[in-house]
Structures are given as C-alpha cells and as structure tokens.
C-alpha cells in the first residue's frame, strides 16, 4: 500500500475499522457488526437514491417540467411523458401513510409487472434461446468433417451434455402430470427419467455456484486480511517515524 496522508489516511482507517467490525461476527452477532451493517445499508440506500435522482428523476422528470412552458407541458405527448409519471410517484408516496396505502397498488402493480416481464424476457432472449442455439450449433459442428481442432470424443460429449442438460432441466420444471385417483402424480417413464437427469444437472449447477461463491468469499477474506496488515504497517511506520 502506498504512503497515505490527510483524508486518504482517514478514509483508510475508517475502512479498516469497518472491516474489523464486520469480522467481529465470527464471535457471534454483536453491536459492532449490526452497526457496520446499518452503515452499509444506509450508505447503499443513499447512493441509490442519489443516482436515481441525478440520472433518472432529474433529466427525465424535473428538468422537462422546469424547462417547459405550461402549453408545452399540457400537450398530449408531454402529458403522457411527464404528468403520468408524476401521478404514479404521488400514488406510490401515499403508501407511506396507512390510509393511503391502497392507492399505491397501481404503481406497485406496474413496477412488479414490468420487472417480471423484463426478467422473463431477459431469461428467454439472453439464456434459453442462446443456449438452445449453442446446442444446435454444437450438434451441427459434430456432423461436420473430423478436421476440427477439438478431438471428436470431446465434441461428442459436449454435443450430448448440452442438449441433454437443457432438455432434462426444462422437463424437470414441467408440472403437468396425470394424477391417479389417490392423488399421486404419475408421469410417463421417459419423462420421469429425464426429470431425474435434470435434477442431477440442477444439483451440479448449484454445487458449482456454491463452490464459486465460497472461493470468491475466501479470496475477499484474504484480501481484507492483507488490507488490515497493510494498514497496521502504515500506522507502525508513522508511529516510529513520528
């Protein structure tokens, strides 16, 4: 760590103090850990609010309202672009008060609906379709000449694993099944087998994700300990030099 002085040194010491406060959770839940958590949540909320005000509300709502005349505001296009968002914000603000909470249902429904549509659309266009196309391209490449760079065995495994994992995982989440009079769900044999294979792929995926998260956490923890060591070294040098 480079030599620090002034505000940089104060910021580094505050960061080291917050790091120690968070690490106290090792000995159990305590006041220092909760204080660091509250500070983090408060700073994150303040930062998100400032970004929303500066990048969204300011240029998209306040500036057009302040820079436009009343005649321009009440044009049909501006009413849709400006006054309707103002109305949605007002209705959403009413959820703060117990008596007006029901009026905030409309903007909340719009937010949840649009958010769900974006997530589902992103999942389909960003994951499902590209993965299906990738599996198709892999099968096509397998059927081509054997002059490819990868060995035929590796391409064969990849061509089988990709479509099998995609199809079996989708079948695992298919809940349509015949029910017996006893109420027990019954699936065709091949569907049950593919669903079991899909369950294996899901478990393997979650295992890999957990291992990746654990490895990342260990790396971050090691970096934090190194950071604390560097801070103690700087403080020792300053005390000896002073």
Q: Which range among 35-44, 76-85, 187-196 shows the weakest confidence by mean pLDDT?
A: 76-85
Has this prediction a pTM greater than 0.75? no
Quote the domain boundaries for residue 161.
145-242
Query: Is position 127 within any domain?
Result: no
What's the mean pLDDT in 108-120?
A: 90
Whose tokens are 């198709």? That residue is 136
Instruction: Give domain status of residue 173, yes or no.
Output: yes
**What is the percentage of the chain residues whose pLDDT exceeds 70?**
75
- What pLDDT does residue 32 have? 92
pLDDT over 90 percentage in the chain = 24
Average pLDDT over residues 115-138: 79
Give the pair of three-digit tokens for residue 48. 């998100």
Query: Average pLDDT of 108-115?
Result: 89
pLDDT at 48: 92
Residues 6+ apart with CB under 8 A from 194: 167, 168, 171, 172
Does 35 reside within a domain? no
- Give the span between the Cα atoms of 36 and 23, in whole angstroms: 10
| Sequence-distant (≥ 6) Cβ neighbours of residue 172 within 8 angstroms | 194, 195, 198, 199, 202
State how many domains the chain has.
Answer: 1
Which one has a higher pLDDT value, 28 or 210? 210
Q: Is residue 196 part of a domain?
A: yes
Q: Residue 124's pLDDT is what?
A: 83
Q: Which of 137, 200, 135 is nearest to 162 (CA)?
A: 135
Decide if 165 is inside a domain.
yes
The verdict on residue 131 lying in a domain is no
Q: Which helix (H) or strand (E) holds 185?
A: strand 185-186
Per-residue pLDDT for 168 more than 80? yes
Phi, psi of 99 (to 5 degrees): -75, -25
Alpha helix stretches (DSSP H) within 24-151:
31-52, 63-67, 70-73, 76-78, 84-93, 105-123, 129-143
Question: Over the stretch 173-199, which tens digit does the pLDDT of each residue have?
Answer: 765 556 666 655 556 777 778 888 888
Average pLDDT over residues 231-239: 83
Q: Is residue 91, in this structure, part of any structural domain at all?
A: no
Query: Residue 190: inside a domain, yes or no?
Result: yes
Predicted local distance difference test score (pLDDT) of residue 212: 93
Stretch 63-80: mean pLDDT, rounded?
Answer: 65
């Amino acid at each position: 760590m480079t030599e620090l002085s002034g505000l940089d040194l104060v910021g580094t010491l505050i960061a080291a103090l917050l790091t120690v406060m968070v690490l106290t959770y090792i000995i159990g839940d305590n006041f220092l850990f909760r204080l660091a958590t509250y500070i983090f949540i408060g700073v994150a909320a303040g930062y998100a609010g400032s970004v929303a005000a500066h990048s969204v509300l300011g240029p998209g709502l306040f500036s057009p309202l302040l820079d436009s005349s009343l005649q321009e505001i009440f044009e049909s296009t501006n009413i849709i672009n400006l006054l309707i968002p103002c109305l949605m914000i007002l209705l959403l603000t009413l959820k703060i008060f117990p008596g007006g909470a029901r009026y905030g249902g409309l903007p909340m429904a719009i937010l949840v609906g649009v958010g769900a549509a974006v997530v589902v659309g992103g999942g389909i266009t960003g994951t499902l379709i590209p993965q299906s196309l990738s599996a198709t391209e892999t099968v096509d490449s397998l059927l081509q000449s054997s002059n490819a760079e990868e060995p035929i065995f590796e391409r064969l495994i990849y061509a089988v694993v990709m479509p099998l994992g995609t199809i079996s995982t989708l079948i695992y989440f298919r809940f349509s099944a015949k029910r017996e009079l006893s109420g027990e769900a019954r699936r065709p044999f091949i569907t049950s087998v593919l669903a079991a294979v899909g369950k294996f792929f899901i478990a393997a995926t979650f295992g890999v994700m957990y291992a990746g998260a654990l490895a990342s956490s260990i790396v971050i923890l090691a970096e934090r300990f190194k950071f604390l060591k560097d801070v103690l070294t700087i403080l020792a040098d300053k005390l000896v030099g002073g």
